[in-house]
Amino acid sequence: MTEILPIPAFNDNYIWSIQNDQGDAWVVDPGDAQPVLRHLAENSLTLRGILITHHHHDHIGGVNELLANYAVPVYGFMRSAIKAITIPLQEGDRVELGDFSLAVLETPGHTLDHIAYFGEIAGAPRLFCGDTLFSAGCGRLFEGDPAMMRQSLDKLKRLPANTYIYCAHEYTLSNLRFAQAVMPESDEVNKRKLQCESLRARGVPTLPAVLGEEVAYNPFLMAEHPAVRRMAQEVSGSPCATATDTFAAIRAWKDRF
């Protein structure tokens, strides 16, 4: 059986371990090697590969140390500057890992080299989306622009509604506080916030999230929603003629929230 477990790192990162009963493991975005090495040792696992979503240090900082212990392939975007990548990927490629495979999706916006991995694992669709999509939020636009990021989010939004979302940070409660500001009358936002407060009080991750639920409380997936547009116009003081204008306004608001 294959399972997916979070390996906490730094203050709020999750390194995802995809592992099976045969003792094989693949890790996604290992920003720190030490928690990964401990996880492998404690669970009698052998690292078989490293999947990278983008070049930020908190996602790749542990790669070289892991490679010093395990000679494994490193998967990442073909036009990324990450020197450790040995299997360069682009949109439409598939990564074959054990008894499952993942499709590669190009999702620029947070960075220009950002990709996501999507496929069925243990009978359900799974998405490893790095810092593009968070539960109730999305990544900052460090290198891309609002139109680019919205296009990437729309691509992810079209995945099956029962897709489990494995993003790289425990930002959910912070994102939900912002979502309440954008949609103060939303029952879906309030319900998700109460659920996540209970989870975090018990030290349980709020992830994975479910895509079909995200579209009801994540304002960055709801740029076409009239209530989101009205609030974006009110806060920005500008008319939001398009959904991209709305997205840009709420992303700028979130940056200073």
Q: Model confidence over 143-166: pLDDT tens digits?
A: 999 999 999 999 999 999 999 999
Question: What DSSP line would sit under 44-110, residue for residue?
Answer: T-EEEEEE-S---HHHHTTHHHHHHH----EEEETT---TT-SEEE-TT-EEEETTEEEEEEE--SS
Q: Is 40 within the bounds of a domain? A: yes
Residue 242 counted as domain residue: no
Task: Work out whether strand 24-28 and strand 13-20 pair parallel, antiparallel, or are unpaired.
Answer: antiparallel
Q: Is position 23 within any domain?
A: yes
Q: Is 162 part of a structural domain of the chain?
A: yes
Say how many domains are in the chain.
1
Residue range 171-190: mean pLDDT, rounded: 97
* Rounded mean pLDDT, 62-69: 98
Predicted pLDDT at 13: 98
Residue 245: inside a domain, yes or no? Answer: no
- Which pLDDT score is estimated for 198? 98
Query: What residue type is 15 in one-letter code?
Result: I
According to the model, what pLDDT value does residue 137 have? 98
The tokens 């999750």 sit on which residue?
14
Q: Is 210 among the domain residues?
A: yes
At residue 175, the pLDDT reads: 98
Rg (the chain; Cα; Å): 18
The pLDDT, as a whole number, for residue 146 is 97
Residue 39 lies in a domain: yes
Those residues with Cβ within 8 angstroms of residue 144's Cβ, 6 or more apart along the chain or in another chain:
108, 109, 110, 111, 112, 152
Average pLDDT of 244-248?
A: 97
- Is 143 part of any domain? yes
Give tens-digit pLDDT for 85-107.
999 999 999 999 989 999 999 99
State the pTM of this model.
Answer: 0.97
Q: Which pLDDT score, from 0 to 100, does residue 148 have?
A: 98
Q: Which domain holds residue 146?
A: 2-173+186-214
Domain of 104, CATH number, reads 3.60.15.10
The pLDDT of 207-220, averaged and rounded, is: 98
Known catalytic residues are: 54, 56, 58-59, 110, 131, 169
